[in-house]
Structure 1
Amino acid sequence: MTSIQNGPFIVTGASGQLGRQVVDLLVQAGAGPVIAISRTPEKLADLAGEGVEARRGDFNDPASLEAAFAGGKRLLIISTDDLEPGKRLAAHSNAIAAASAAGIGHIVYTSLTNPVSDSPIGFAPDHAETEKLIVASGADHTILRNNLYADLLLMAGAQSIALGQHFAAAADGKTGYVTRADCARAAAAALMTGRGKQTLDITGPAAVSQAEIAEILSGIAGKQISYVALPSEDLVQAMIANGLPEFMARVFVSFDEAIAQGYLDVASADLNALTGQPGQSVRDFLLANRAALLRSQG
């Protein structure tokens, strides 16, 4: 791996699952100084013993970002998870403006695979516009287009095993699922070693279909789990019937629609090139989490 650049390294969203893993990887690598940003910095109190400085910063509160980013050289912007139209992009715009004001030299951003305007995923344009803002800032950058988390398959997979059927509205489409841990490795590596201006696809080693996932689940469960391809609206209504708000049901199904239409059928070697290690396959990830998948089986 390329030699570690000089910090301070700033990680936003540091109290979230991805951000915390990135901070831990930086500490393990001996990179520093490390500044961990969170809306709730008290959740990061345990990091003080690791030499990490916790600061409050909120993308929706631009005034908080001047102090949060002060003195930083390399910044990881972890995309917010706000689904309200326009709010995510406004938050990212605030962060990029603050990074420019603070003189940040390199921005790393967690984007989305194929963030194009015609993607069924409603917030894909927010990622596209954020990427444009980063490029326009003139800063060196590494844009990480993360595919769907393989971690999302754990809850869905457990439900499929319990039901004996794996339901999705993804037709025969494939997805380059990547684990959250691999996304953290990519972000940490880009933050420590990234140079110039790059856009990378962060994916697992191969794209897989829902039928292949059902086959893996069958092996884990020791029984046949069949893949049932549903029309999108049928799956939305089934989710609503199971208590999910309609807005959230449509968000979840939009990922399946993107899979069905090929937007997430991307498997790249960029993760290996960036970190020196390929991503974990869906099969290996699910096998490693066999106990969680079988939790409802008593």
Structure 2
Amino acid sequence: MSTNQETLLVTGASGHLGSIAIDWLLANYEGPIIATTRDPEKLSALSARGVIVRKADFDQPETLSEAFDGAQRLLLISTDAIAVPGQRVKQHKDALSAAVQAGVKHIVYTSIPNSEPGSACLIAPDHYATEELIKNSGLSYTILRNNLYSENLIPTLQQAVASGILGTATGEGATAYVTRHDCAWSAAAALASTTTDNQIVDVTGPEAITGSELAQIASEISGKSIQFVPLETAKLVEIFESIGLPSGLAQAYASFDTASARGEYAQTSTTVQQLTGKSPITLKQFLTDNKSAFTGAE
């Protein structure tokens, strides 16, 4: 149990990552915890557990300084505003300005691997711009470059089990998939630590998996033969658009595969172990534990 008594704050606390981070803090941290969200009613249960719940709307920057008041360390979970170019960077910039004004000393931020210019991922520039804003904010920082979530494979594998075909644009590239829980626990642990060192680290699973290896793992777990079929990125965009995604979002989501094909997500790290004291879960174990989610079988 941490003995650090600084006040910690988690943004986006009603979201998937934020809620898991809050649960970790409640189990492992003794100091004050602030949770912010656009809709505080969603977090009423946390108030009963001693968490300070505040309204913070990143599209209403005037609400942020008061929401962040009193926090010494802040977990800035990147927003999902990718449909409108520039919106996410503005949200993050306003949040950083408010954090500085509120007296925050250390920022923990959730980014992606290889966010530097040249990435094939179309949302990487948002993260790189935010990282640069953080570096120039005057605050100390921990930037966590989270690899692709294992959870996001579930819809893809549902279709693969049904059709017998796993079609992706990842080519021969490998991805060090990591669970959302491991990312959230790592972020919470970084937030609860006493370090003020500036760090940029990758948060990954223990091994990098190719598309053909993923098809083999899914075949073993589901008991059905699944063949890996490499696609061109343009074809993947067409598929995404055919299921109703707007063109811009379809291109953005497909670009993760392109980046994977180029090896941008293949690097593994020991960050989860170092921050949480626990080994990250393997992709095979995660899929085994969640077999019913993509096979429909209990």
- TM-score of Structure 1 vs Structure 2, range by shorter chain: over 0.9
- Which residue of structure 1 aligns with residue 28 of structure 2? 29
| Alignment partners' CA distance in 1, 2:243 and 2:100 | 46
Deviations 1:212-241 (Å, cap 9, x if unpaired)?
A: 110011012212101000111112112323
Task: Report what 1:88 is aligned to.
Answer: 88
Change (3 A) 1:231 1:194: farther
- Residue of structure 1 equivalent to 2:137: 137
Alignment of 1:58-73 (within 5 A): 58-73=57-72
Aligned to 2:11: 12
Alpha-carbon separation, structure 2, partners of 1:256 and 1:187: 25
Report deviation, 1:194: 4.7
Distance 1:177 1:104, change over 3 A: same
Identity of aligned residues (%): 44
Q: Secondary structure of 2:75's match? A: strand
1:154 aligned partner: 154
1: CA distance, partners of 2:59 / 2:242: 34
Query: CA shift at 1:268, angstroms?
Result: 0.6
How far off its partner does 1:61 sit? Answer: 1.4
Query: Number of aligned pairs?
Result: 296
Q: How does 1:26-65 map to 2 (within 5 A)?
A: 26-65=25-64
What residue is the counterpart of 1:233 in the other structure?
234
Corresponding residue of 1:167: 167
Instruction: Please state how far the C-alpha of 1:143 moved relative to its aligned partner.
Output: 0.7
C-alpha distance in structure 2 between counterparts of 1:55 and 1:132, whole Å = 27
Q: Which runs of 4+ in 1 moved over 6 A?
A: none
TM-score, reference length from structure 2: 0.96
Which letter maps to 1:36? A
Residue type of the alignment partner of 2:268: A
SS in 2 for 1:137: coil
Label 1:49 to 1:70 Cα distance change in 2 as closer, same or farther (>3 A). Answer: same
Deviation at 1:244, TM superposition (A): 2.9
SS in structure 2 at match of 1:32:
coil
SS of equivalent residue, structure 1 residue 156: helix
3-state SS of the aligned residue for 1:167?
strand
| CA distance in structure 1 between the aligned counterparts of 2:100 and 2:158, rounded to whole angstroms | 45
Structure-1 separation of matches of 2:240 and 2:145: 28
Q: Deviations over 1:231-271 (max 9, x none)?
A: 11112112323333322221221110000111111111122
Distance in 1 (alpha carbons) for counterparts of 2:238 and 2:8: 45
Residue 97 of structure 2 corresponds to 97
Q: What is aligned with 2:223?
A: 222
Over residues 7-41 of structure 1, what are the superposed CA-to-partner deviations in whole Å (9 max), with x where a residue is unaligned?
21100000101101111111111432111000111
The alignment partner of 2:278 has SS state of coil
With normalisation by structure 1, the TM-score equals 0.96
Give 1:76 shift. 0.4
Would you say 1:184 and 2:181 are equivalent positions? no
> Conserved in 1, the CA contact under 8 Å of 2:66 and 2:102?
no
What SS is found at the alignment partner of 1:50? Answer: coil
Q: How far apart in 2 are the matches of 1:203 and 1:66?
A: 33
Worse-superposed segment, 9-18 or 59-68: 59-68
Displacement after TM superposition at 1:197 (Å): 1.1
Distance 2:69 2:250 in 1: 40
| Equivalent position of 1:252 in the other structure | 253
Deviates more, 1:244-253 or 1:162-171: 244-253
Q: Which amino acid is 1:11 matched to?
A: V
Q: Secondary structure at the match of 2:48?
A: helix
Query: Could you say what secondary structure the match of 1:151 adopts?
Result: helix
Unaligned runs of 5+ in 1: none
* Aligned-residue CA RMSD (Å): 1.4
SS in 2 for 1:236: helix
